[in-house]
């Protein structure tokens, strides 16, 4: 018997406890800046110290914060800590993620990974076209800013995934962290009170208190719903835990709907419907071939049925809380200028794609339709990933993005065809996550805002990690 075994077991337990304490203390500080006190500041500093020490073994935890840093970027955290105003939280977590990856490589817990050629070629082609197009783009400010973000942030989202997700445990920890962050976002929203029939959006309050980030609340809740019902529900046999998971899923459904966002709820509904259709079809084919229907087909259908029933009940009972969502869905109420702008953006992008094979150059779209050249384009972009890439990077860039994502989807379905047990549900969750973000990218943000797409893609290219 190894005399050090009890010590190692206790060390693992201590690390697990500190892991949870530090992440909770840090995120509480990030999400509740309005109640910051010396006590909370001390908790944050202690939590951060533990995080630096213990999370270096878990780059996926830093990676979660990097991917979702935008949700708390507009809070007063920088001011409270008296940190330099130029400090960017996204870059900070990117650096921490990179340090953790290097540390894990040196300790032999990760190995150097490289993407498959079918992923590498189209993405590098997009990068090359983006760099070259800056030469003929009429946007010197937005174009340069967008290119830097593409090289530094979006590319890191893609390639870091190959280094981090080399085993299933890391994917599970990433999913758990997303669920935790979604509940912290819900708590921050609920803490300000939820008034029935309240007009306007709900979400995480920015530092000025004049607007809320409703899109991030909806997106996080939607991701959490899919993770809970398609993966975590099937990884436990404990009925009490299953009940908690169902309750957690319903809370996220409530948060997603009260946000007022449309694309995420519609996306979750579309994905659930498509999964039901596909699984029913596969089950019917197995029945016709007189084969036993695999439980991987029937079990998701059961939880979909349970959630759909509970969703209808909750929606019927609490529909007065969803007035913003219902108004935007049923009557498309809102500023008419908003819809005329979207029509203009879509039509202009299609016109460019049809007549200019080389595109406008990166960042050139706002200038083309008569807007000012500014950082992040002032929110002026087609709000559709494919139209954006086609209009600015031309036909080559558009074909590169299309090939990239089609290959990701095909890889995801190929994985599902051979996976069984827990691996199957993990693969199913990855595919659903990718589909949700892909759906949202057709209505919101530019290519860098949608960098979650470039995270979930590599998970498919990896097939699925073989280690436990």
Residues 54-100 have pLDDT tens digits of: 667 788 888 888 888 765 555 545 454 455 555 677 888 888 889 88
Give strand pairing partners of 250: none
pLDDT at 192 over 90: no
Mean pLDDT of 276-295: 82
pLDDT for 393 equals: 94
Least confident range of 30-39, 85-94, 103-112, 365-374: 30-39
Computed on alpha carbons and rounded to an integer, the radius of gyration of the chain in Å comes to 23
pLDDT at 47 over 70: no
Give the integer Cα–Cα distance in Å for 354 and 172: 44
pLDDT tens-digit series, residues 196-225: 777 777 776 654 455 667 778 888 899 999
- pTM greater than the 0.95 cutoff: no
386 φ/ψ angles, rounded to the nearest 5 degrees: -70, -40
Ordered by start, the domain boundaries in the chain are 1-112, 114-468
pLDDT for 378 equals: 66
- Write down the mean pLDDT value for the chain: 78
């Amino acid at each position: 018997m190894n005399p050090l075994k009890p010590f190692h077991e206790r060390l693992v337990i201590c690390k697990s406890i500190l892991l949870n304490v530090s992440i909770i203390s840090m995120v509480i500080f990030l999400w509740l800046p309005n109640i910051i006190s010396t006590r909370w500041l001390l908790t944050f500093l202690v939590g951060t110290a533990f995080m630096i020490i213990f999370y270096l073994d878990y780059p996926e935890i830093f990676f979660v914060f990097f991917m979702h840093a935008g949700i708390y970027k507009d809070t007063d955290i920088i001011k409270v800590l008296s940190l330099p105003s130029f400090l960017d939280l996204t870059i900070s977590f990117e650096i921490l993620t990179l340090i953790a990856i290097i540390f894990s490589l040196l300790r032999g817990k990760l190995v150097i990974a490289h993407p498959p050629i079918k992923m590498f070629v189209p993405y590098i082609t997009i990068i090359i076209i983006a760099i070259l197009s800056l030469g003929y783009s009429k946007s010197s400010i937005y174009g340069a800013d967008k290119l830097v973000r593409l090289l530094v942030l979006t590319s890191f989202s893609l390639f870091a995934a190959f280094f981090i997700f080399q085993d299933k445990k890391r994917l599970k920890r990433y999913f758990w962290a997303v669920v935790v962050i979604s509940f912290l976002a819900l708590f921050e929203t609920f803490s300000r009170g939820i008034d029935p029939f309240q007009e306007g959006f709900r979400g995480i309050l920015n530092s000025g208190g004049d607007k809320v980030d409703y899109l991030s609340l909806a997106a996080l809740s939607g991701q959490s719903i899919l993770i809970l019902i398609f993966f975590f529900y099937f990884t436990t046999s404990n009925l009490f835990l299953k009940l908690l998971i169902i309750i957690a899923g319903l809370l996220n459904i409530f948060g997603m709907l009260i946000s007022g966002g449309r694309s995420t709820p519609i996306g979750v509904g579309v994905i659930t419907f498509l999964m039901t259709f596909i699984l029913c079809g596969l089950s019917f084919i197995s029945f016709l071939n007189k084969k036993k229907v695999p439980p991987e087909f029937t079990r998701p259908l059961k939880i979909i049925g349970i959630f759909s029933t509970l969703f209808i009940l909750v929606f019927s009972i609490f529909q007065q809380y969803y007035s913003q969502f219902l108004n935007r869905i049923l009557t498309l109420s809102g500023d008419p200028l908003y819809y005329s702008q979207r029509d203009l953006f879509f039509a202009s992008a299609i016109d460019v794609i049809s007549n200019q094979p080389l595109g406008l150059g990166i960042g050139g779209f706002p200038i083309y339709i008569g807007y000012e050249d500014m950082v992040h384009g002032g929110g002026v972009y087609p709000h559709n990933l494919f139209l954006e890439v086609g209009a600015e990077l031309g036909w080559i860039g558009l074909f590169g993005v299309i090939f990239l994502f089609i290959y990701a989807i095909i890889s995801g379905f190929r994985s599902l065809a051979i996976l069984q047990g827990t691996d199957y549900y993990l693969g199913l969750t990855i595919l659903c996550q990718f589909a949700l973000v892909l759906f949202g990218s057709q209505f919101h943000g530019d290519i860098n805002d949608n960098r979650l797409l470039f995270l979930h893609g590599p998970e498919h290219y990896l097939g699925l990690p073989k280690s436990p």
